[in-house]
C-alpha cells in the first residue's frame, strides 16, 4: 500500500474511527454537534445560527450520520437530528492513549528549543 489518503477518499471505504475523525475535521460540523447537546433539532433549526441552506445542513448531517454521531428521526417532513455521543468516547479513549506523552510536553518543548538553538540563523 503506497497510496496516501489525505481524507478525500470514498467514505464507505473507511474504517469507523477514520469516518469519525473525518466528520469532526470541520468546524461547522463540530458546532452542529455542540448545538445538538441541547436536544434534537430539525434541519432548519440547525441551519439558523450558521445562515446555512437546508441542503448544506443535510449534507453535513449525512457525514455525521455516516460516522454514527447523529441519528435522524423517521418523520418525513422534520426528521429531527439527535446526538449520538458514543463515537466521541472512542475518540477520547484513542487520544487518551497518548496522555503520558502530552504530560511530558515541557520536556519535549525543551528538546525542541534545544534543537532550534543549534541553528541560530533560523529565520522562521
User: Contact residues for a second copy (CB under 8 A)?
Assistant: 1-8, 11, 14-15, 17-19, 21-22, 24-28, 30, 33-34, 37, 50-53, 56, 59-60, 63, 71, 73-74, 82-86, 88-89, 91-92, 94-99, 101-102, 104-105, 108, 111-112, 115-116, 118-119
Q: Given the complex with a second copy, which of 8 and 123 has the nearer CB atom?
A: 8
Alpha-carbon distance 25 to 46, whole Å? 18
Alpha-carbon distance 76 to 80, whole Å? 10
Dig out the grid coordinates for 39 from the structure.
436536544
- Enumerate residues 6+ apart whose C-beta is below 8 A from 44: 54, 57
Query: DSSP for 42-101?
Result: -HHHHHGGGT--HHHHHHHHHHHHHTTSEEE-S-TTT--EEE--HHHHHHHHHHHTTHHH
Give the nearest distance from C-beta 77 to a second copy in angstroms.
15
Amino acid at each position: 500500500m503506497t497510496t496516501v489518503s489525505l481524507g478525500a477518499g470514498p467514505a464507505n471505504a473507511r474504517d469507523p474511527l477514520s469516518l469519525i475523525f473525518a466528520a469532526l475535521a470541520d468546524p461547522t460540523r463540530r458546532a452542529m454537534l455542540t448545538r445538538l447537546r441541547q436536544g434534537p433539532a430539525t434541519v432548519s433549526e440547525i441551519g439558523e445560527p450558521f445562515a446555512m441552506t437546508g441542503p448544506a445542513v443535510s449534507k453535513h448531517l449525512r457525514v455525521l450520520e455516516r460516522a454514527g454521531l447523529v441519528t435522524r428521526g423517521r418523520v418525513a417532513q422534520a426528521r429531527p437530528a439527535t446526538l449520538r455521543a458514543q463515537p466521541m468516547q472512542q475518540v477520547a479513549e484513542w487520544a487518551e492513549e497518548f496522555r503520558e506523552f502530552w504530560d511530558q510536553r515541557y520536556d519535549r518543548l525543551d528538546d525542541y528549543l534545544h534543537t532550534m538553538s543549534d541553528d541560530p540563523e533560523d529565520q522562521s
